[in-house]
Structures are given as C-alpha cells and as structure tokens.
Amino acid sequence: MNLQINIYPFGSRPDVTKPHPDFYKTLKEEGIRKMVSRHYDLMRLSAINSLFPADNEEFETAKTRSADFMIQICGGPDYFNQHRGKPMLINRHAPFTINEAGRQIWLQCYQQALMETNLPEHLIESFWEYIQVFSAWMVNKKD
Ligand code: HEM
C-alpha cells in the first residue's frame, strides 16, 4: 500500500481531492467515528499530545468535532456545519503551533488508524491522499 507523506513548501495550499464516495458508503458514520476515535487515542500517546485537551470530557468533544467533519467531507450528513458553522479549518488551527514534524506525527497516527479499518486498499489510499495533502494547509510554523 502506498501511504506516502509528501513535503510541500511552507505556506502552500496544494489542491485537495475529497475521499472517494465509496469510503463513506463502506465505512459509514459508525466506522468513521471509530477511526477518528482511534486516531485521537494514538495522538494522546504521541509526541504531539500536548496540543490536545488533557481533560477527558474535552478530549471526547474534540473527537466528536473531528469525526463530524470527516463524516461531512466524506459525503455524509453535514454535522460539522450544523454544530460548528463553516469549517474554516486554517483559522481553527491557528491557535496551535503546527510544524511539519507535528504534521508527520498527526499523519502517522492516521496511517495506523486507517490500516485498522481493514478497508480495501484503494479506499484507504483515497482517504489518505485527502488528509496527506490537506494537512499541509494546517502547518503554520516553520520547523
Ligand atoms: C497537520 C496536522 C494537524 C494537527 C497537528 C492538528 C491539530 C489539531 C488541534 C490541536 C485541534 C484542536 C483540538 C481539537 O479540537 O482536536 C484540531 C482541531 C481540529 N482539526 Fe486538526 N490538526 C491537523 C490537521 C487536520 C486536518 C488535515 C483536518 C481535516 C481534514 C483537521 C480537522 C480538524 C477539525 C475538524 C478540528 C475541530 C475544529 C473545531 O471544531 O474547533 N485537522 N486539530
């Protein structure tokens, strides 16, 4: 499986393609919530854990928000827009220091969470390509 991480110039906004519609059709809302929950649990054990809420209740809320967004972007109900308004994710990440090293850890945690879904290879690669590219938009600090 080809889950490669490309490095993009700081401040660039490479073109993003949404995950294939079959990703949502196959994993469904429940599966996406499980995958995002796993991603967050892995980040809590990682070198970027200090970016995320230490309080358990807040941590669960963070999982819900992130899952709401992923469900929406994958073609499911627009829960994120309903609860949080327009995504504006660059602005929402601005209060946090995100460098290329942090992006790599964030993506590595997703590599593991995605592999555990046991989805067909082409669907894992489709979601991967989306986050691999879009994560570059969130980097707001040079290494
Ligand atoms: C580059 C690596 C990234 C890092 C280090 C990072 C880190 C964070 C942090 C610290 C927060 C705030 C705490 C929380 O609510 O979880 C957050 C929120 C969030 N992130 Fe990321 N993020 C990254 C990439 C992404 C990407 C690529 C997406 C979407 C595909 C995304 C979607 C979200 C969403 C939806 C929220 C909640 C925003 C809100 O409702 O306030 N993040 N992220």
8-state DSSP, 74? T
Out of 88, 105, 138, mutate this one to test ligand 1's pocket (max ligand atoms within 8 Å of CB): namely: 138
How far apart, in whole angstroms, are the C-alpha atoms of residue 109 and residue 128?
Answer: 12
The CA-based angle 81-82-87, given to 5 degrees, is 20
For the chain, the domains span 22-138
**What are the E-state strand segments in 27-142?**
none
Residue 79 alpha carbon to ligand 1 centre in Å? 16
* Ligand 1 nearest-atom number relative to CA 84: 40
Left (φ > 0), alpha (ψ -120 to 50) or beta: where does 52 sit? beta
pLDDT band at 2 (very low <50, low <70, confident <90, very high): confident
User: Ligand 1: residues within 6 Å at CB?
Assistant: 48, 51-52, 62, 65-66, 69, 84, 89, 92-93, 96, 98, 102-103, 106, 131, 134-135, 138-139
**pLDDT one-digit tens code per residue, 26-66:** 999 999 999 999 999 999 999 999 999 999 999 999 999 99
**pLDDT one-digit tens code per residue, 78-131:** 999 999 999 999 999 999 999 999 999 999 999 999 999 999 999 999 999 999
pTM of this prediction?
0.98
How far apart, in whole angstroms, are the C-alpha atoms of residue 131 and residue 16?
Answer: 9
Give the class (CATH, top level) of 22-138: mainly alpha
Cα dihedral 52→90→63→15 (10° resolution): -130
* H-assigned helices in 45-99: 56-73, 79-84, 89-93
